[in-house]
Amino acid sequence: MKAILLAGGKGTRLRPLTMHTPKPIVPIFNRPFLHYQIDLLKQVPEIDEVILSLNYQPRRIEDVFGDGSQLGIKIRYVVEPTPLGTGGAVRYAGESLTESVIVLNGDVLTQIDLGAVIGLHRERQARATIVLTPVENPAAYGLVETDGAGNVRRFLEKPGADEITCDTINAGIYVLEPETFERIPKDTAWSIERSYFPSLVERGETFVAYTHRGYWIDIGTPEKYTQVHRDIMDGRYQAPPYMGGDAGRVWRAADVRVEDGASIEGPAFLDEGVVVKAGARIGAYTVLGRRCHVEEDAAVRGSIVWANSRIGREAVVQDALLGRHCHIGRGASIGAGAVLGDKSVMTDCSRT
């Protein structure tokens, strides 16, 4: 069985972080994001190959994952000649497939039981199975309505208050039959959500839903990207390095150097080569990437700082996201919600 990961997007909602780093390999702590999706797929023994459908900076992604041998699963790369949308990408990547295929959007983190989804698909002899997840505010999403037997009946795009009949949205995980791909136009930008799925409903084909009520998040915005780290630190999502009873702790690589007089409040993550100078204060939910330096009397709280960045003396970074090789000058202050791209420089005493 094959799996297709739709990882061709430009990650525009995460810019400027994704200007030089494709969204599939943005770091979650010290692991590229796609590692987590591949870990999920590896839980299904019959999946013997992962097809990465790419478009934006494909070489960067291939350099990270190679042929998959180090991950214990075969990886094949399919690069779209032009952006083809979700439907066009599925057809392009699945052109030669003859058996059921699992498709995942490349920005979804979840702990779903994929084996159970496949089991439902086979039990119902479905042409397609879609995973749904409930949300607290249905009006903000496109909803998917099902009947009592779990058959998909219609899609509601951003419904009004009087139109809401359910609370379930598309979770970006599908099991599909390749013979249905012929209805997707070749080499054409086409939406799996707005065109392919409605065609199944219109034709009365067996199209069923699996509702997942466990952990699910789309990492594609700065707010959600930050939330993923906090959820892992708090144990709401089980992933290295915060497994089992490790929730809430300060995780430090073996060579981290914290000088006397510095303080670190957990949960926090300090990667290899991090240096925290005397008097510096690292607050809860801070993530410091490899070889970051926090100078004397600086404060970093609730922020994610990518590798090789330097926080100057007496600077304050609060609830912000910083890319690689950033330099924050002495006494500078970065406020909540700030997102700085790679190699950003804030001169001494500057403020956001």
> Mean pLDDT throughout 171-194?
88
**Left if phi > 0, otherwise alpha if psi is -120 to 50, otherwise beta: which for 269?**
beta
> Mean pLDDT throughout 235-243?
86
> Mean pLDDT throughout 266-283?
96
Share of the chain above pLDDT 90, in %: 59
For tokens 């981290």, name the residue.
256
Q: Between residues 94 and 341, which one has the greater pLDDT?
A: 341
* Cα 31 off chain centre by: 11
Structure tokens at 155: 């899609």
Residue 162, pLDDT > 80, answer no
> Mean pLDDT throughout 236-249?
80
Structure tokens at 32: 């590229």
245 band by pLDDT with thresholds 50, 70 and 90: low
Which tens digit of pLDDT belongs to each residue from 22-55?
888 899 999 999 999 999 999 999 999 999 998 8
Q: Between residues 13 and 307, which one has the greater pLDDT?
A: 307
Share of the chain above pLDDT 70, in %: 96
Residue 203, pLDDT > 80, answer yes
Distance CA 106, CA 102 (A): 12
pLDDT at 346: 95
CB-side exposure of 61: number of CA atoms within 13 Å?
Answer: 29
CA distances from 14 to 26, 54, 195, 213 (A): 10, 17, 27, 26
Output Rg (C-alpha) for the chain, integer angstroms: 22
Cis peptide before 134 (omega within 30 of 0): no
Going from N- to C-terminal start, the domains of the chain cover 2-217, 249-346
> Mean pLDDT throughout 107-133?
93
Residue 60, pLDDT > 90, answer no
Distance CA 168, CA 131 (A): 9
Helix (H) or strand (E) holding 124: none
Helix axes 58-65, 34-41, angle to 10 degrees: 60
120 band by pLDDT with thresholds 50, 70 and 90: very high
Which tens digit of pLDDT belongs to each residue from 286-343?
999 999 999 999 999 999 999 999 999 999 999 999 999 999 999 999 999 999 999 9
Q: Which CATH superfamily is domain 2-217 in?
A: Spore Coat Polysaccharide Biosynthesis Protein SpsA; Chain A (3.90.550.10)
Give bridge partners of residue 3 from the DSSP assignment. Answer: 50, 102
3-state secondary structure of 258: strand
**For residue 319, how many other CB atoms are within 10 A of its CB?**
17
What residues contact 65, with CB distance under 8 A and at least 6 apart? 32, 34, 38, 52, 71, 75
Q: Which CATH superfamily is domain 249-346 in?
A: Hexapeptide repeat proteins (2.160.10.10)
The mean pLDDT of the chain is 90
pLDDT at 140: 66
285 band by pLDDT with thresholds 50, 70 and 90: very high
CA distances from 55 to 23, 104, 191, 272 (A): 11, 16, 16, 31
Three-state DSSP string of 146-197 = ECCCCEEEEEECCCCHHHCCCCEEEEEEEEECHHHHHHCCCCCCCCHHHHHH
* Cα 155 off chain centre by: 24
